[in-house]
Structure 1
């Protein structure tokens, strides 16, 4: 029987000879240790040792990116940055995301031979499919539940992020649903505050969503933040389902990939995956994990929606990085693990044209907080301005020209201005 592998690609920085450094990585994460042991026979290595696929030198630098690396005797001051690809035998961990993570990440980041190490991509074998069936809804299912079959799904976040009483939340949701939004989400800060516990929140929100739907014939999708301990996830999911809700949200780093996968096994609703805390895993370019690897793990575990920041956002991430993230999510995975890119942060009618030019797709969820709620003529005009901006972009008409006959867009452009050139041309 042919052996299967998970292929992991890394960016490393090391003062040691690169091929030796790669061998240390492979040994540490499979059959080897710091010294030869009697049990590491040729048979064991043939069965379970990680294999070096390639080591490619990228550049040589003179200063280490991270502290703590030891240098070899006679070190000349060079630090080698390389792309290293390793194959890990699937049989070592089987269909288990937690044990996969222990293998492809594990102790690697602590090895003293490295002054930088970053997991940048993973290739997963089909054997994972039976244990992890992936997202249940993706773009098609989300469009069906939101009732949006053309253009981007336009959404917003309840603001203030935290602090609203049940009564204040109900009034806010009523106004947003009446504004014609396709999608509303809880902020990641707001799951079950003591002054607005989850059970009461679901009841208040769904009453307003249903009242507006009865009047308009259109039911807004609301992503309830069910983040909590493992037993709370199921209880909160069931509450949303029983109340007629159509989406749940979790903070992926808070519940972990195993928690996400457990939720996906019983969930009957799209799972909106928020990546808050992601910055601490990725912000340093020579540490942690790159989004192409991360998003594959999230899709494997069942996330239907995944945040990617946005072009010209308030966060540090470059436009080029955001574009790569969207492209990664849209790349086929395991024959159909489809997910929805969620663009959020600093979004308004101003950002639509560049977003569409850069991404070339409307298969996304465009979430604007202030860009909708702070529109001079209110949230309903904010929603219309977002839709008008996307219509203009898809017709290859400038927003300025389109705004001449669309007052909501005109007011949005006047309010939110234009992205500064330096910001719009961020590279990375």
Structure 2
């Protein structure tokens, strides 16, 4: 069997070599003292191995609270590896191995898991995305441009009938994709089954009239038995997408629902700030997305350019591009990036250029609902912005002959022409 490799950004009050050995021991066969059963043979077979240590910087103060005081805190990159025999092809147990009781070790004053490499055995153990980019685009009937999407707002408070009424306006306006907010799942004011029935009446009726079926991501996040039931109802109703909250489900829940449902899984990363706000602790998106893709995520949120949150544009694009990173066996594990958070027609050109392709979902709330031309005008402005980007035409040039795009750039873009949001 192969070996699992993990890369860390480590800071320590001791030395990088000592801290790496402590982590390797803690996360495999060792403890704070040598035990009678911990033979050299056992350590050779089951112990984690320190593959590489590279110092990068130092500081006079620790990045995180640290019990061990030192004159200098050394920082660097550390690569560890484990034999697959330790945990097997089990994503939950891999996570316990590479991100378990190591962040709180006394020898650690900062630690962030920045990369992971899965051996080929995981390609057999996990199915990966069922649809991914190309399957999603084919199911939605979209070609050669991003999918234009939006979120049901208000997040909560609308009844099933009110939700369906909004969906009708969005469908008539030409939208490709609609999703429940992560806060809307199966509450008493808008039960899942009632919302499903009301919304699918609208979507199916619109499809019968136009031949185009809007993809709606229904939030099925719940206890696993309820999720399975609602997933079955979703498929029976003719739905084409299910949404889940990744950190609520965990890896076991995600892989279980992947195996149960034959629809794209739209995966929301709500709670992401816990892992992303500090550069000194946590797990990076390029690592998480590999776990999620193996477990079956078809769509993954990556935030958006000029977003309302804290992630820099460079980080957003790096995260989106990381969805192309090779995985175990590379068996078509391409997940679809989902851009959202304060997106309008203004950011479309830069997003297409930075990502390098148009196989993504571009979700806009105010960028659609707040357009002077209403929903239809907002959707048209985004499609026009995408058409300009695909054709290599600057948005402001294309807008001269496209009213909806022109109105969007005037409303949402800065007057200095930088293209950033107001």
Shorter-chain TM range is over 0.9
Taking structure 1 as the reference length, the TM-score comes to 0.95
Structure-2 change in CA distance of 1:110 and 1:423 (3 Å): farther
Mapped partners of 1:287, 1:355: distance in 2? 28
Instruction: Note the alpha carbon deviations across 1:22-81, whole angstroms, 9 max, x for none.
Output: 00010000011001111110111111000001011111112211113313xxx3x21111
The one of 130, 139, 154 equivalent to 1:136 is 130
Aligned equivalent of 1:380: 376
**1:148 matched residue in structure 2:** 142
1:200 aligns with 2:194: yes
Q: Secondary structure at the match of 1:129?
A: helix
Match of 1:57 in 2: 55
Aligned 1:20-419 pairs, distance under 5 A: 20-71=18-69, 75=70, 77-334=71-328, 335=330, 336-418=332-414
Instruction: Determine if contact 1:152/1:363 at 8 Å carries over to the other structure.
Output: yes
Say if 1:419 and 1:64 are closer, same or farther in 2 by CA, change over 3 A. Answer: farther
Distance 2:353 2:164 in 1: 37
Structure 2: distance between partners of 1:265 and 1:24: 38
Scaled by the length of structure 2, what TM-score is found? 0.97
Gaps of 5+ in 1: none
What's the counterpart of residue 10 of structure 1?
Answer: 8
Q: CA deviation at 1:418?
A: 3.1
Query: 1:385-426 CA distances to partner (integer Å, 9 max, x unpaired)?
Result: 00111111222222111111100101111211239899959x
**Cα distance per residue 1:288-315 (max 9 Å; x no partner):** 0011100000001100000000111111
Quick check: 2:147–2:176 contact (8 Å CA) kept in 1? yes
Sort the Cα spacing of 1:60 and 1:298 in 2 relative to 1 into closer, same or farther, 3 A.
Answer: same
Structure 2 distance, partners of 1:406, 1:137, is: 34
Structure 2 stretches of 5 or more lacking a match?
none
* Mapped contact 1:305–1:339 kept (Cα < 8 A): yes
Deviation of 1:380 after TM superposition, in Å, equals 1.0
Q: How far apart in 2 are the matches of 1:186 and 1:229? A: 18
What is the rounded CA distance, in whole Å, between the counterparts of 2:7 and 2:419 in structure 1?
Answer: 31
Q: d(CA) in 1 for partners of 2:367 and 2:79? A: 43
Q: Residue 103 of structure 2: SS of its match in structure 1? A: helix
Question: Deviation string for 1:248-300 (max 9, x for gaps)?
Answer: 00000001111001111111100001000011022110110011100000001
- 1:357 CA displacement: 2.1
**d(CA) in 1 for partners of 2:145 and 2:299?**
16
Over the aligned positions, Cα root-mean-square deviation in angstroms equals 1.5
Separation of aligned partners in 2, 1:418 and 1:391: 21
Work out the CA distance in 2 between the residues paired with 1:300 and 1:419: 44
SS of residue in 2 equivalent to 1:47: helix
Cα deviation, residue 331, structure 1: 2.2
Query: Is the 8 Å Cα contact of residues 69 and 114 (structure 1) preserved in structure 2?
Result: no
